[in-house]
Structure 1
Amino acid sequence: MKLSRLLPIALLVVTSSTFAQTVDKKPEVKAEILESLTSRIEASAFVPGVDFKKFRDFLAAEKPQIDEAKNDEEFRNSVNLALRKFGFSHIMLATPKDMNQRTTGKTTGIGITSVIAEGGRLITRVVEDSPASKAGLEVGDVILEVDGKKVDEKTIMVGDEGTIVKLRVKKSNGKKFDFAITRRPFSTIQKDTIKEIAPKTSLLTIHTFDRAYDAKAVDELMKSAMKSDNLIVDLRLNGGGAVVNLFHLAGYFLDSDVRMGSMLNRAALVKFRAENKREPADLKELIPFATMKLTAVDQEIGFRGNLVILINGGTGSASEIFTASLREQYGKVVNEKGEEEYDPKIGQLNVVGQNSAGAVLFSTYNPIAQGFFVQLPIADYLTSGGVRLEANPIAPDVMVEGPPVQLPGKPDKAIEAALSIFERIRLRKERGG
């Protein structure tokens, strides 16, 4: 089973709150939202070489499903099928409920994230103290049926507070169980953590770079990390978030003058055309015209030991920029001449796990009609080495085969692989190699 690109937004599909439905039996409201959406896309979205006017054709192809949509969630899902026809990430419609959850970190539902998998929806997260956790749902469970109907990509599990959803679930051991879970309010925020898992070796888990990222809390975690010679940064299932948070964490590992890649937006393309009187043959040609310098935050302390970054199919966007930048730049410093060079005193870096999501475009959330929002791409990204990550997943240095999510009570093969790497480094040092 593979994690789909729905992962970063999966929580939106299985939660709800007390918002009134907007489009319920109101075709004129649907039409207003769609016109506002189309206008916003054509005016603001940007990916080099993409004609966003094609959205009108994509929308027409999904019109039967859009017309049949009975509520905000069905409407959103149908419209997002049209948006996915562009074939890239970071473009989706969000309901007023979705945006409230993103802003407050609170919602009402059963408290899981899930992705489409063979036979149903694979649970990738169970929110702590949520109705789902109290009912006994676990990561790795597959939801087969919702209220007696087989699950597919259109299945919606939202509902009002106090209502009951009936689930048929297959556990990781193959056994099937039925659950009746009452929807309740809960917080979606996960606290980042650090713990020592071996002598002089720590595991830092960063769940998101989005609004729930707490820079002050991460500062304290990194103070603990400085006590270790070896550090594992776990970005599995971290779907990304705000670049400012990515730069904050990166500041603990990179010199603040080391470039972390290029943001290639409409302004860069306009400047290129004006100077060269032609279209760029390759995205790399736009790098000198990039309008924003991407560098890490200058931190007072920095980790310079051996480093392993864990990734999988749920590692996306800002997490991929972090991973790719450190892979290319970890160990580099800027000398007195302003040149980048490697410092031999800095430890080794390895990326371990499974291929990342390959979903890296800069985006913003834009308000449209009736309280809906649309996430739109506004720039592409190339690493400092000129590599495009969109639709080009990061391949780990050490591939770890296994399920797409870590099952409870099972050995974590990625962490085991990281510990083996650290041990080999230690032995080489002892032997003087």
Structure 2
Amino acid sequence: MRVTLWIVTFLLLFTLTIAPAPSMAGREDHFEALKRFSQILDLVEGHYVKPISKKELIDNSIKGMIEQLDPHSAYLTPEDFKEMQVDTAGKFSGIGIEISQEQGRILVVSPIEDTPAYKAGLLAGDLILEINGESTQGMTLMDAVKRIRGEKGTTVTLLILHKESNKPVEVPIVRGTIPIVNVKSQSLEDGYLYLRLTKFQESSTRNLREEIEKYQKNHTLKGIVFDLRNNPGGLLGQAVSVADTFIEDGTIVYIQGKDKANRKDFYATKNSNEIKVPLVTLINAGSASASEIVAGALQDHHRSLIVGEGSFGKGSVQTIIPMSDGSGIKLTTALYYTPSGRSIQATGIEPDLRIPFVAPNKDDDAGMRDRFTLREKDLTRHLENGSKSSKSGKDADAEKAKDMLARDNQIRMALELVKSLPKLREIR
């Protein structure tokens, strides 16, 4: 399980500038603050009811200081730091959810497709009220992660309050190894390709382009429905290269920190491999961080019609600063801005065409889970189970596309729109 919508980088993106020497009053204020901290440290160490070391107290102080800044800054123990490095590789242990913290509660940003959490019915916007009977009120994000993680095959029980519910439910989930298939595809009609990107990982852009190339071997590509719904983000570099797949030139995103002189821009590269067919992109409240970078760039360049519901609004940059003892600090150092200068933070990306998802059967929990279900049998070139089918490969593929369109009104609308885009451009 990955925890956040973090953009991981091990290089500081901003140079440090030397501030002028503090005034005498400023130095005295610093001294008084440090003196007060030292006094409290000694008091707690000497009088707390249980034995506690000065190192533990200082570590907890650092942890509290960093985590009080915002929901995404954090102190990483050496163990946490190593796990974060593993997470970006695309395979890890856990239940498969992205979580954040909001008003002291642990919030599900997105369940990762085809994982235990996804199959258990967790949804974007759910609140995790308890973990194995322990309240999450006031629990830090990293503490929540440690309690949810565990050995493969063991069970963690979460008390979940679904977004549209007034009554929490207990959800037992068996932990597992989480291999992420970050790109899924399906032919909707001849020439119209559905691409779902579930995560921005090291292989995402390569896998995305390979799926397009494979499709073009047997079809004349006429349009793409690009699904970023419930994609919680990932690596900044992958967000840039995914957007670059569809954008000819210009700015894709820029980041701006406290020092205005240290703005950093990321640009599209001019190349002959750019995909130029009509494009409709789907987003929702589970589309966060890197997903919002891509959607914002496509929208500002008028490269894609953005359809669905407003995105999550996670537009801050976290820089990972390694420390000499193997620990690290994940510090918010900047904000993301779309090419036109819009900040993503707390506002997200508004779709050009707002189309709420409508479940096939609003009173049917199974219908609600069909919202983002792309099953194994739906995937192009999936492995058969060995039993013989009376339908040809072409007929079976058409049947899968028909089933997808029947249970997802947003995909249906996106297909009709992408087919209409060339005509709309001619009218304009």
TM > 0.5 between the two? yes
For residues 344-423 of structure 1, the aligned pairs below 5 Å read 349-368=304-323, 370-402=325-357, 407-410=368-371, 411-422=407-418
Residues 183 and 241 of structure 1: CA distance in aligned 2, closer, same or farther (over 3 Å):
closer
Residue 194 of structure 2 corresponds to 203
Aligned equivalent of 1:295, options 240, 243, 267? 267
Matched, 1:219 2:209: yes
Question: CA–CA distance in 1 between the matches of 2:72 and 2:252?
Answer: 20
- Residue range with higher mean Cα deviation, 167-176 or 190-199: 167-176
For residues 224-272 of structure 1, the C-alpha deviation after alignment (integer angstroms, 9 at most, x for no partner) is: 465332212112233333333223222322223x2335443567527xx
Give how far 1:306 is off: 1.9
Would you say the 8 A contact 2:233–2:287 is kept in 1? yes
Question: CA–CA distance in 1 between the matches of 2:257 and 2:233?
Answer: 19
Counterpart of 1:230 in structure 2: which amino acid? G
Counterpart of 2:111 in structure 1: which amino acid? R
For residues 160-309 of structure 1, the aligned pairs below 5 Å read 160=151, 163-167=154-158, 181-184=173-176, 186-211=177-202, 213-224=203-214, 227-256=220-249, 258-265=250-257, 268-269=260-261, 290=263, 292-309=264-281
Residue 277 of structure 1 corresponds to none
Residue 125 of structure 1 corresponds to 111
Question: CA–CA distance in 2 between the matches of 1:78 and 1:395?
Answer: 39
Question: CA–CA distance in 1 between the matches of 2:316 and 2:84?
Answer: 20
Instruction: State the aligned residue count.
Output: 333
Would you say the 8 A contact 1:358–1:392 is kept in 2? yes
Counterpart of 2:123 in structure 1: which amino acid? G
Q: Secondary structure at the match of 2:148?
A: coil
Flag structure 1 segments of 5+ consecutive residues without an equivalent.
1-5, 10-39, 46-52, 271-289, 332-348
Would you say the 8 A contact 1:204–1:232 is kept in 2? yes
Question: CA–CA distance in 2 between the matches of 1:190 and 1:314?
Answer: 18
Residues 188 and 236 of structure 1: CA distance in aligned 2, closer, same or farther (over 3 Å):
same
Give how far 1:351 is off: 0.6
Counterpart of 2:345 in structure 1: which amino acid? E
For residues 313-347 of structure 1, the C-alpha deviation after alignment (integer angstroms, 9 at most, x for no partner) is: 2323332222222212245xxxxxxxxxxxxxxxx
Higher relative contact order (CA 8 A, sep 6+): 1
Question: CA–CA distance in 2 between the matches of 1:311 and 1:302?
Answer: 22
Give how far 1:169 is off: 6.1
Residue 387 of structure 2 corresponds to none
State the structure with more CA Rg.
2
Indicate the percent of aligned positions where both proteins have the same amino acid: 22
Counterpart of 1:218 in structure 2: which amino acid? L
Would you say the 8 A contact 1:76–1:94 is kept in 2? no
Question: CA–CA distance in 1 between the matches of 2:314 and 2:351?
Answer: 16
Matched, 1:320 2:320: no
Give how far 1:150 is off: 5.2
Residue 132 of structure 2 corresponds to 147
Would you say the 8 A contact 2:88–2:201 is kept in 1? no
TM-score, normalised relative to structure 1: 0.60
Flag structure 2 segments of 5+ consecutive residues without an equivalent.
7-11, 18-28, 42-47, 53-57, 360-364, 372-406
Question: CA–CA distance in 2 between the matches of 1:171 and 1:358?
Answer: 20
CA RMSD of aligned residues (A): 4.8
Question: CA–CA distance in 1 between the matches of 2:159 and 2:343?
Answer: 41
For residues 93-112 of structure 1, the aligned pairs below 5 Å read 93-95=75-77, 96-97=79-80, 98-112=83-97
Give how far 1:195 is off: 1.4
Counterpart of 2:75 in structure 1: which amino acid? L
Would you say the 8 A contact 2:109–2:232 is kept in 1? no
TM-score, normalised relative to structure 2: 0.60
